[in-house]
Amino acid sequence: MSNSRSSSFGWLVLLTALTALATFGVVALLVNIFERKQEARAPFTRVVEVTEVSTDPKPWGLNFPQQYEDYLKTVDDEYTDYGGNHALPPSKLEESPWLKRLFNGYAFSIDYREARGHAHMLADQEVTKRVTEVQQSGACLHCHASIVATYRRIGLEKEGENADAKALANGFQQEAVMAGFREVSTKKYEEVHAEVEKTPDGMDVASGDPHMGGAHPVSCVDCHEPETMAIRVTRPGFILGIDKLAKSDAEVPHLPSVRAWREAGKKGNYDPNTMASRQEMRSFVCGQCHVEYYCANKMTLTYPWSNGLKMEDLEAEWDSTTFPDGGEFYDYVHKTTGTKVYKAQHPEFELWSQGIHARAGVSCSDCHMPFEKVGATKVSSHWVRSPMLNINKACQTCHKVPEDEIKARVDVIQDRTKALIDRAAAAMTEMLDAIIEVQENGASEDQLEPIRDLQRKAMWRLDYIASENSKGFHASQEAARILGESIDYSRQAIAMAYRLELKDEEAKPADSQSTETDADAEESESAEESEASNGE
Amino acid sequence: MRHRYPKAVAVFCVVLGLLAGLGTFTFGYGKGASYLSNDPNTCVNCHVMQSHLDSWQQSSHHHVAVCNDCHLPHDKIGKWVVKGENGFFHSLAFTLGGYSDPIEIKARNRRVTQSTCVDCHRDFVHSMLPATSNGDMQNCVHCHSDVGHAGHGRVDATRNR
């Protein structure tokens, strides 16, 4: 009796436990369904005021926690085959020793590493040997710091107007920003950095008291209007550059608002903030910095877009540019050859403009900041990174093919580009050797001039693709074309160097047979020979 | 008076009653009954499906076919087997998260859509169908990707100006 009683009691306990477990599960499900339903509601609550002076991203993060969290993630991106983040990013100079010869005489030959994400960009600039060992210009902070409030402050001060935190918070004031930009553009890095530190990075809205928190890397206010959150461009360099582009006759099939502005009679200036479509803006915000520009202290920061966005359009602008002191334009004097050459920065916007994605209306943000669902909300990912780390959201929204297949396609493009870069680099270093050799053997400056032209063209083209951060993906055929031209110019320069009639005939390269005859195109056979033997 | 059942039974009954009540409430709150229907709005109970519903409404098929017509087999047993299986995995994915988004169709669900295309259009496409039961053929939606979900996932090109 008592035995059966205790066994039925045991059963009851077991059943109760099972029922409790089931209840637990049902409640968990209920809560989950409740949460999912909550997610479907309006997600945005403005808990603090942000203004034009809020260069500190933290208060923005209170209003937009998801975007801020994403932004903070840009400090620890993974490393892809051709780019990405690292605690100590690998040195490009060690990976590709030819870069040291390419940049010989330029700060990039001292320290050149893989770039890290946005939240790192100011800190990394402050410690690079390019800045600590070489005097750099304040123009570098145009893109690396959240500097627009500083431009505005300096512009207002110059006009003798009030520039306290409240005045700075009071609208974008483009005139003042431009004035401040011109004022500091040719000053030294440290001076401008100190100016950024002096600008409030926030404000207590009620009292108007300034908050001083130091300098920040590019943050929310650089791409967003604080009142409406609309995306916008703030960088004076871009605003001036895109206006030049609009006023040119260059074909811009991928920029419908520029075409519309031209058709409407090119009235006034082209202003991206009022005229560009939202989809264009989703590229323009990136084009504020991911472009080619002149960034040193001889003249104001310049985006070379008055002829168009193709590589040779930019080159043509630099060819026709003179410094304010009247001297011919160059970025650096190549140390071992003495040739004045151009440094391509990182022409992502320009190369993208030549590619199929731009033509199809795909913006930078579509791949680098793809929309993702967070709960029921669609958020543009602010974890700006390589699409290869996020193929599902970045590529598969449009390309309905398996991830592996997409990755394989990109790999093919990038590996091919890398192989061409290596070939162009080999040609470039051989060209430098050839020029050094004929210089040592007494080539005159007159003789060298056409060779220097070829050298500048070859180096610019190689640098243009090597420093562009997509390894050819943004426009693969264009990248290959440019590298092909680079190889050709390097080889032409080598050929021309070995055809020179040098005074000291004995000192001529032994394998060059064209001693007495004219050293022109008809002698290309022997030139090719010498080039070939030089190649070994 | 002596109770006819021990106290433990009473406790168990209370717990069971709680479970039944909670379960009924959760079933109602989670719109459980709707999953037995054919209504396409059921699919957006799960808000990740919103864009799929939106694009279906703009598609050429929305007059003639709802979600279940293309995504579930047309025979009675197969329909409920696939409905049950998909229902389970969908709720698992949505509850735990971690699914890919844009969502990718599974191979076996793609076979279902293919079979439903053919089922309705058999008279028209019979000459294109494979001669043997395991024969190979191109997926209908490889070319006709817009019929179910108009422009879904397509880039909205900026050529409108």
pLDDT digits (tens, 9 = 90+) for B121-136: 988 888 888 877 777 7
Residue A340: in which H helix or E strand, if any? strand A340-341
CA closest to B106 among chain A residues: A402
CA closest to A366 among chain B residues: B155
Instruction: State the average pLDDT over residues A172-186.
Output: 91
* Predicted TM-score of the model (pTM): 0.83
Instruction: State the average pLDDT over residues A197-204.
Output: 90
CA closest to A10 among chain B residues: B8
CA distance A373 to chain B (A): 8
For chain A, give the percent of residues with pLDDT over 70: 89
| pLDDT under 50: residue ranges of chain B | 1, 153-161
Classify the C-alpha dihedral A382-A387-A391-A394 as positive or negative: positive
CB–CB contact A30 B30 (8 Å): yes
Chain A interface disruption, residue of B3, B155, B156, B161, most A CBs within 10 A: B155
Of A513 and A395, the structure prediction assigns the larger pLDDT to A395
- Taking contacts as CB-CB distances below 8 angstroms, the residues of chain B near A30 are 22, 25-26, 29-30
B154 in contact with chain A, both atoms CB, cutoff 8 A: yes
> Residue A518 pLDDT > 80, yes or no?
no
CB–CB contact A361 B157 (8 Å): yes
Residue A446: which of A507, A500, A517 has the closest Cα? A500
Average pLDDT of the residues of chain A: 87
Rounded Cα–Cα distance for residues A203 and A50 (Å): 8
* Cα pseudo-dihedral A341, A344, A350, A352, rounded to 10: 130
In 10 A of CB A66, how many CB atoms?
18
Q: How confident is the model at residue A525 (pLDDT cuts 50, 70, 90)?
A: very low
Whole-Å CA distances, B14 to A7, A20, B7:
21, 11, 11
> Residue A458 pLDDT > 80, yes or no?
yes
Rounded Cα–Cα distance for residues A211 and A169 (Å): 12
* B72-88 residues labelled b (16+ CB within 10 A) or e (exposed): bbeeeeeeeebbeebee
pLDDT digits (tens, 9 = 90+) for A357-394: 999 999 999 999 999 887 777 889 999 999 999 999 99
